Structure 1
Amino acid sequence: MEECFRWYGPEDPVSLRDVRHTGATGVVSALHHIYDGSAWPLEEIEKRNAIIQDAGMCWSVVESIPVHNSIKLGTKERSTYIGWYKDTMRNLAACGLDVVCYNFMPVVDWTRTELTHPLENGAFALRFDAVDFAAYDLFVLKRRNAEASYTSKDAVIAEARFNTFTPEKIKRIENNLIAGLPATERQYNRESFLQAVEEYDGVTPDDLHRNLAYFLGEIIPVAQELGLRMCVHPDDPSFSLYGLPRIVSTADDVRRILSAADDHANGLTFCTGSFGTREDNDLVAMVAEFAPRIHFAHLRNVQRERDGSFHEADHLTGSSDIVAVLYALLEEQKRRQAEGRADWQIPVRPDHGHLLADDIDKDETFPGYSLIGRLRGLAELRGAMHGIATAQRINTKERQA
Structure 2
Amino acid sequence: MKLAWYLPTLPSVKWKIATQLGVEYAVAALPAERYYMKPWDFKALLYAKESLNDAGLKLEVIEPAPPHYKIKLGLPGRDEEIEIFKQVLRNMGALDIPVLCYNFMPQSGWYRTSFAKKGRGGALVTAFDSKLMQAAPQLTEAGTQTDIQIWDNYKYFMDKVLPVAEACKVKLALHPDDPPVPSLQGVSRIFINVENFDKALELYPSDYNGITFCQGSFAAMNEDIPSLIRHFGRKIFFVHFRDIRGDADAFEETFHDEGQTDMKACMRAYKEIGFDGVIRTDHAPVMAGESGENPAYEMLGHIFATGYLKGLLEE
Question: Which position in structure 1 is the counterpart of 2:214?
Answer: 271
Q: Which amino acid aligns with 1:381?
A: L
- In our comparison, the structure showing a higher alpha carbon Rg is 1
Contact persistence 1:67–1:102 (CA under 8 A): no
Distance 2:151 2:306 in 1: 34
Runs of 4+ in 1 over 6 A off after TM superposition: none
| Shift in Å, 1:32 | 5.4
Task: For residues 277-322 of structure 1, give each alpha carbon's deviation from its aligned partner in whole angstroms, at most 9, with x where no partner exists.
Answer: 122x2322321121111100001110006x9221111213222223
Change (3 A) 1:223 1:120: closer
Q: CA deviation at 1:119?
A: 2.2
- Tell me the equivalent position of 1:241: 184
Partner of 2:25: 26
**Pair 1:127-2:127 in alignment:** yes
Aligned pairs for 1:217-296 (under 5 A) are 217-239=159-181, 240-279=183-222, 281-296=223-238
Query: 1 CA distance for matches of 2:165 and 2:66?
Result: 16
Aligned to 1:308: 249
Task: For 2:48, give the aligned amino acid.
Answer: R
More strand by share: 2
More displaced stretch, 307-316 vs 344-353: 307-316
Contact 1:39 1:84 in 2 (8 A): no
Aligned to 1:143: 138
RMSD: 2.0
User: Does structure 1 residue 73 correspond to structure 2 residue 73?
Assistant: yes
How many residue pairs end up in the alignment? 310
> 1:46 Cα shift?
0.8
Question: Which residue of 123, 128, 141 corresponds with 1:195?
Answer: 141
Matches within 5 A, 1:322-333: 322-333=263-274
Letter paired with 1:356: M
CA distance in 1, matches of 2:134, 2:310: 38
How far apart are 1:79 and its partner, in Å? 2.3
Q: What is the TM-score of this pair, normalised by structure 1?
A: 0.73
Deviation at 1:259, TM superposition (A): 1.3
Aligned equivalents of 1:21, 1:122: Cα separation in 2: 27
Q: Could you tell me how far 1:24 is from its partner in structure 2?
A: 1.3
Q: Which residue does 1:42 correspond to in 2?
A: 42
Q: Is the 8 A contact 1:304 1:310 kept in 2?
A: yes
Between the aligned partners of 1:32 and 1:236, the Cα distance in structure 2 is: 24
% of aligned pairs identical?
29
Matched letter for residue 78 of structure 2: R
- Partners of 2:79 and 2:120 in 1: how far apart? 51
Counterpart of 1:89 in structure 2 is 89
TM-score scaled by structure 2? 0.91
Structure 1, unmatched stretches of 5+, are: 145-193, 334-343, 388-401
One-letter amino acid matched to 1:329: Y
Q: 3-state DSSP class of the match of 1:195?
A: coil
Q: 2:150 is matched with which residue?
A: 208
Alpha-carbon distance in 2 for matches of 1:233, 1:105:
9
Per-residue Cα deviation, 1:89-110 (whole angstroms, up to 9, x for no partner): 1011111111110011011101
More helix per residue: 1
Letter in structure 1 aligned against 2:58: C
> Cα gap change, 1:66/1:124 in structure 2, threshold over 3 Å: closer, same or farther?
same
Q: Distance in 1 between matches of 2:90 and 2:152?
A: 25
Cα deviation digits, residues 335-355 of structure 1 (max 9, x gap)? xxxxxxxxx612001111111
For each residue in 1:31-66, what CA deviation from the matched residue of structure 2 results, as whole angstroms up to 9, or x when unmatched? 2535xxx87000100111121011111011111213
Q: Which runs of 5+ in 2 are unaligned?
A: none
The Cα offsets for residues 226-268 of structure 1, whole Å up to 9 and x where unpaired, read as: 1111101111111122232111111101111111210110010
